[in-house]
Structure 1
Amino acid sequence: MESIASPQLWVITVAVLLGLLALDFVITRRPHDVPMREAVAWTVFYLALPAAFGVYVWLAHGGTRGVEFFTGYVVEKSLSVDNLFVFMLLLAAFAVPPALAQRVLLYGIAGALVLRAIFIAAGAAMLSAGTWAFLLFGAILLVTAVKVMRDALRGADHQVDIDKMRGVRLLRRLMPVTDEYHGARLTIREAGRRALTPMALVVAAVFLTDIVFAVDSVPAVYGVTDDPYLVFTTNAFALLGLRALYFVLRNALARLKHLNHGLAIILGFIGLKLILHWAHTVWSWVPDVPTPLSLAVIIVTLAVVTVTSLRATARTERQGVTASAP
């Protein structure tokens, strides 16, 4: 199936994306701790955009492409929540002032968009070279799913050790680093020479994590659709609302105890779907998993792990109250 995007549609999409990023940079130019009302308003806006775009895809290009877009968006949004949790840990590890948090997130989102575009182009080139790319992408997702599930079953938390990040260590060797933040500035002139601020280090750390997440994210959405345009737009829409969503969910992220269990199931399912799709191109009798079934599995999985997470958190809180009671 050919891509739905003409060169003109690509130009319009990239222009709108750059405009939205520019708007976010204007909003974050004045450092401030984002109140809940503002965060909710922007979150609703960035949820309405993909919903409207998905309706356009459905009406203009058919139900099959519409379902692919909505399925890919749900996959990317669920993976981006895990990305957001790591961002939260990085902000805490670098002691980022609350007023600067949204600028750090915006740098992270911009970097993630650039990396996703590169990985998406590479993925499209691999798929055009042969169906073996589906087998490779499926294997990557299955390996990732096993690792995520193993860590989840062990109860291993995300660990952020900034001293072990090679990029951060390299920057510290190349240039001096100030002890304090200087607003949103990445460098300042101190004692007659240019020095990095802690803001530069946290931005570098965020970019490094973006690379890791791009490796999992792009193959996952290619398991839903083979259209690079839909792969790009699902990634873009999922990432654009992260800045506002962080301030809505920052107190709730820790309550999603079973999120990684669900992500492991989703990644494993899509990995298996990709391998079956590759096998289907070789042996026609091998079943090919339909996209509507994928959407149903993903939604049910996310719903179940959300309910079980909230119940587990409530049970832990009750046990804590009971233990502290005289």
Structure 2
Amino acid sequence: MSAVVTGDVVVSASGLQSIGSPSLWGLTIAAVILLLAMDFLITRNPHRVSMREAVGWSIFYIALPLAFGVYIWFAYGSTQGVEYLTGYLVEKSLSVDNLFVFMLLLSAFAVPVELQQRVLLYGIVGALVLRGVFIAVGAAALSAFDWAFLLFGAILLVTAVKIFKDALAGGEQTTEVSDMRSVRLLQRLMPVTDDYRGARLLVRDEGRRALTPMALVVVAIFGTDVVFAIDSIPAVYGITEDPYLVFVTNAAALLGLRALYFVLQGAVRNLPHLNYGLAFILAFIGVKLALHWAHDQWPVVPEIPTLASLGVIVGTLATVTLTSFYATRRSAQRVG
């Protein structure tokens, strides 16, 4: 696809504007690969992750995207800066919700504590690849079909309703590993060992090749990555149509997920109202996408500014956090 560079903005042949010049794309992808390689080196020797280690890496993976946001703001303008920050907050919020499913999967497969961060890292790599594909498809759809905005909005509204219903039903997501087709297929194609063999996915057992439970949990994580991508990509496209910002906000939210998992392993269970907030955020962005499509068709229809979206998202997250702490404290006082 050919592209024309106008100032700091790249205009592709499809008409989409992006700050992502070829050099910026190259540097960003190289940085992501470097950070992933560093994480693989860290997890090369399986070990139990201490809270101090998890907090340290979490701070690093939050400070790095925020510092990059400052660069985006001053290099490309406040509009792109606000879009980046808003998109990052949305993706980070969704990634926190994803931790519920990760916890269930790691528990269902009885993954040893020392191997959990390697499983999470495999999941992050799979998510980055899948979301790269979804981003490309989404960019092509938005540039070719105006009604793609309505489709993305509908996906988010349906997802919001599902999350809200799950929250009303008890607030916990459930994952039946035995119902995952990918896992059942693997078990039919190849034998599976009864125990973990370190971080190995494939071993020779009694003279034949066999998968380990590690391979099954990785496949299960990859399967959930697909679902997460379907939710997250339309959500961030509701904030910005810039494919580069969509990718970099997803990458920034995912890269710190390994360490954040161990920090929030207990904390997320103390946020009973989180899913209500996420449902509202997804529904809000779905409406924003629909209004954007309507504004293109009928200019009299108002749009929701990105800065207003940022305020709604921050306000919603702050509200559900405070109400969750209050509800948890009230519950503890009743039990006590």
Q: Secondary structure at the match of 1:189?
A: strand
Return the letter of the residue paired with 2:180. M
Which residue in the other structure is 1:324 paired with?
Answer: none
Aligned AA (2:258): R
**Distance of 1:143 and 1:160 partners within structure 2:** 19
2:23 to 8, 16, 24: 8
Aligned mates of 1:208, 1:317 — CA distance in 2? 36
State whether structure 2 residue 263 is matched by structure 1 residue 248: yes
Task: Give the letter aligned to residue 61 of structure 2.
Answer: Y
Shift of 1:251: 1.2
CA distance in 2, matches of 1:163, 1:136: 31
Percentage of identical aligned residues = 68
Distance in 2, matches of 1:232 and 1:89, equals 27
Q: 2:140 aligns with which of 105, 118, 125?
A: 125
RMSD: 0.8
Aligned to 1:56: 71
Give me the whole-angstrom Cα distance separating, in 1, the residues matched to 2:172 and 2:255: 26
Inter-partner Cα distance in structure 1 for 2:221 and 2:90: 21
Alignment check: 8 A CA contact 2:87 2:249 kept: yes
Q: Please, which moves more after superposition, 8-17 or 149-158?
A: 149-158
- Where does the alignment leave 5 or more consecutive residues of structure 2 unmatched? 1-15
1:301 paired residue number: 316
| Whole-angstrom distance in 2 between the partners of 1:127 and 1:233 | 18
SS in 1 for 2:204: strand
Counterpart amino acid of 2:77? G
Q: CA offset at residue 188 of structure 1?
A: 0.7
Query: How far 1:130 sits from its partner (Å)?
Result: 2.4
Structure 1 SS opposite 2:240: coil
1:185 is aligned, of 193, 200, 205, to: 200
Question: Are residue 85 (structure 1) and residue 100 (structure 2) matched?
Answer: yes
Task: Identify the range of structure 1 (262-271 vs 151-160) with the bigger mean alpha-carbon deviation.
Answer: 151-160
Which letter does structure 2 place at the counterpart of 1:138? G
CA distance in 2 between counterparts of 1:156 and 1:269 reads: 20
1:279 is the counterpart of 2:294: yes
- The 1-side partners of 2:239 and 2:157 are apart by 15
Cα–Cα, structure 1 residues 156 and 305, in superposed 2: closer, same or farther, change >3 Å?
Answer: closer
Q: Secondary structure at the match of 2:40?
A: helix
Aligned-pair distance for 1:312? 1.2
Stretches of 4+ moved more than 4 A in 1?
none
Q: CA deviation at 1:2?
A: 1.8
Structural mapping, 1:144-159, within 5 Å: 144-159=159-174
Q: Which range moved further: 83-92 or 215-224?
A: 83-92
* Partner in structure 1 of residue 305 of structure 2: 290
Equivalence for 1:24: 39
Aligned-partner residue type, residue 24 of structure 1: D
In the aligned structure 1, how far is the partner of 2:319 from the partner of 2:121?
Answer: 31
Q: State the secondary structure of the residue aligned to 1:224.
A: coil
Q: 1:238 aligns with which of 238, 249, 253?
A: 253
Q: 1:265 maps to which residue?
A: 280
Counterpart-to-counterpart distance in 1, 2:165 and 2:300: 33
> Is the contact between residue 54 and residue 260 of structure 2 (CA under 8 Å) also seen in structure 1?
yes
Q: Distance in 1 between matches of 2:327 and 2:106?
A: 26
Alignment length (residue pairs): 321
Listed as ranges, the gaps of 5+ residues in structure 1 are 322-326
